[in-house]
Amino acid sequence: MSLDPSYLEYPKRRRGMDHEYYDYSIMHQRPPVTWSDEKKLLIWPVISLEYFPMVPQDQPFRAPGHMQTAYPDYRHYTAREYGTRIGIYRLLGAFEKVGAKISVAANSVIAERYPELIEDILAGGHEIVAHSTDMNGTIASGMDEADERALINGSLDTFEKVTGRRPRGWLSIARSQSFNTAKLLVEAGAEYMCDWANDELPYAFQTDAGSIVNIPLNHELSDRQIINVQQQSVDSYAQQMIDAADWLLGEAKAHGGRMLPMHITPYIMGLPYRIAAFEKLIADFAGRSDIAFARGDEILDEWKAQQ
């Protein structure tokens, strides 16, 4: 039995993706970006500071890294809590040694439960990126729009109430969005998001509510992916980051300023048998004259000024 010809008709089939969010773009055809102080590569560190409730909710899905065994799952719960007690301060200390200001993508529950931790982050000159409410606050299509709006606004409102500053950036759990997320972020006052990983530089993203910028946060180079999922060593992680930086610096000679996200997790990278290798890695980057560390909001402002 042959298919009806109408089966193959698809109104959005065209060059690029099947949406109107942004135009298709090839790296070689873009005007080059210039970073301040003649830097060729910006390292964008993003720490995921997460609060995992004891009982996970599996709707719309269970967040990566969530509880795994019969409840109460104290083993995984306390391993995750290690990040907010020990690991985060090791990572902040490592960046302080090289004078780097970074982004911290935090669940808003952290601001309520551990306000002194958020105060320490901001006092260090770092940026808070909203990372949902807690690690049960996942988003996916099929979620009621009103519920998603309440989740996004709840996270942003909490940070604004606790810190006096509304986060400019947003990172969804597992980088998962619904068809409504970008629009709802614009309505909530967010200026950039980190969920779409299809590029290595910021780009404009259009919604029915207005525009937002996507600053791509690479998934493949995260410590969770390399160390936890692929079971590679911290030395392998460090070498892959160095390889990426070297390659991007080579591209910068022809294509202008480049960007390298560094997505790290306190309960993974903050362990005592990994932190020394991590400190050595960021000291290597800090010692190069053509590399600088930057927060997400700084990258946003520099990029927007050139558009």
pLDDT band at residue 92 using 50, 70 and 90 as cut-offs: very high
- N-to-C CA span, the chain: 53
User: pLDDT (tens digit, 9 = 90+) per residue, 132-179?
Assistant: 999 999 999 989 999 999 999 999 999 999 999 999 999 999 999 999
Distance CA 99, CA 109 (A): 28
Which pLDDT score is estimated for 24? Answer: 86
Q: Is 8 exposed, middle or buried (0-12, 13-18, 19+ CB in 10 A)?
A: exposed
Position 287 pLDDT exceeds 70: yes
Which pLDDT score is estimated for 12? Answer: 67
> Which residues are CB-neighbours of 93 under 8 A, at least 6 positions away?
none
- DSSP annotation of 44 reads E
User: pLDDT (tens digit, 9 = 90+) per residue, 189-217?
Assistant: 999 999 999 999 999 999 999 999 999 99
- At residue 258, the 3 state secondary structure works out as strand
Q: Which H or E run contains 41?
A: strand 41-49
- At residue 89, the 3 state secondary structure works out as helix
Distance CA 222, CA 105 (A): 14
Position 16 pLDDT exceeds 80: no
Position 88 pLDDT exceeds 70: yes
Place of tokens 């990994």: 274
Name the token pair of 29. Answer: 């055809």
Domains of the chain: 37-304 (3.20.20.370)
Give me the chain's average pLDDT, please: 95
Could you check whether the bond before residue 53 is cis, i.e. omega within 30 degrees of 0?
Answer: no
**Other Cβ atoms closer than 10 A to 271:** 18
In contact, 118 and 128? CB cutoff 8 Å: yes
Which has more pLDDT, 71 or 129? 129
